[in-house]
Amino acid sequence: MTIRVGIVGATGYAGEALFDILLRHPSAAITGVYSRSGDRRAFSELFPRFKGRTGVICSPLDVKKIVNDSDAVFLSLPHTVSMELVPHLVKAGKKVIDLSADYRLRDPAVYRRFYKIKHKDAGNIKRAVYGLPELYRAKIKTAGLIANPGCYPTAAILALFPLLALGAAEHSPLIIDAKSGASGAGKNPSGDMMFSEVHDDFRAYKVNCHQHAPEITQELTRVSGKKTGVIFVPHLLPLTRGILETIYLRSLPGQKRSTGSLVTLYKKFYKTEPFVRIKDAGSFPRLKETAGTNFCDIGIQADGADIIVISAIDNLIKGAAGQAVQNFNIMYGFPETTALL
């Protein structure tokens, strides 16, 4: 069985990564690549690294054509643009995997507060499944619309899921000190993201006001049943790909655990997960070990009541395109690691 897939908005970094992965997918045929700019240019002209590997031509963003030519559609569009398109695709019965933030937050009021715009397709929010397979694999199988998780939330939620789901730590405040490479900021030129500004620099930004914070608390609250609160400080690393988060929390009063027991707990918890790897005690993730992969690596340490969890992913793979394809594989019953190992 070959699924005809369309990629809408393939000219950004996540779209490029998506194209790269789907090109290697034995059961997916890229039948269309659509960009808002509307240029009819060879995709390999936009991204010369694909020259000799594909003859696909970019098309203008035409809903009819997308509907006609695709079984599944990946949307790699800026937030607020996705929600213009999704209703049409859902209505036409297409499987939609949306990499934007538009269907992640279940409360339109929260969306409005953080994305500064009223949601235009609130009706479909309930229909959307939050596409983190480790939490929602069963629902993803039958979903028609996937809200593919944000990069920071993926690393944070996977790091905290075992402790909070098992009620083994306090829910607030969870201190998340996050560091991301520059590709997370996208391709649009901006003075802040010029080479000479980012190279040899390191800085915090959107200190405790980043739009990924409510996504993290929403999901952690759902899995744990208790309201969680995060302090979330993202920083910009002088490298292109990767997110590492160092998370500080505390065990419940009177329930201290050793590092060893926590490592064991995590290993057991994620035992059957193909893309979560738990480091042995005393060992911690490095960006280099996840770069270019769909893995999330996690290290844990306890010091008295204090617990430190460190997680790392490639923001464009497990934090975007790889996870999208993982969801695609689950939706169509393909082996979950197809094209991802």
Locate 135 and state its tokens. 């939490």
Closest distance between its own copies and the C-beta of residue 173, in Å? 6
Nearest by Cα to 5 from 21, 13, 46, 14? 21
Closest distance between its own copies and the C-beta of residue 282, in Å? 8
Interacting residue ranges for its own copies, rule: CB under 8 A? 13, 24, 48-49, 51-53, 173, 175, 177, 179, 182-183, 187, 189-191, 193-205, 207-208, 231, 233, 235, 237-242, 244, 246, 248, 274-275, 277, 279, 284-293, 295, 297, 299, 301, 303, 306, 308, 310, 341
Query: Closest CB to its own copies among 103 and 275?
Result: 275
The helix (H) or strand (E) run that includes residue 337 is none
Which of 58, 151, 209, 296 is the catalytic position?
A: 151
Closest distance between its own copies and the C-beta of residue 172, in Å? 10
Closest distance between its own copies and the C-beta of residue 83, in Å? 27
Q: Residue 122: phi, psi to the nearest 5?
A: -55, -30
CA 290 – CA 293 distance, rounded (Å): 5
CA 277 – CA 313 distance, rounded (Å): 11
Q: Residue 309: what residue type? A: V
CA 159 – CA 132 distance, rounded (Å): 13
Query: Closest CB to its own copies among 143 and 160?
Result: 160
Query: Closest CB to its own copies among 1 and 195?
Result: 195
296 is catalytic: no
Query: Hey, CA dihedral for 189, 192, 198, 204, is it positive or negative?
Result: negative
**DSSP letters along 244-255, please?**
EEEEEEEBPTT-
Catalytic residues: 151
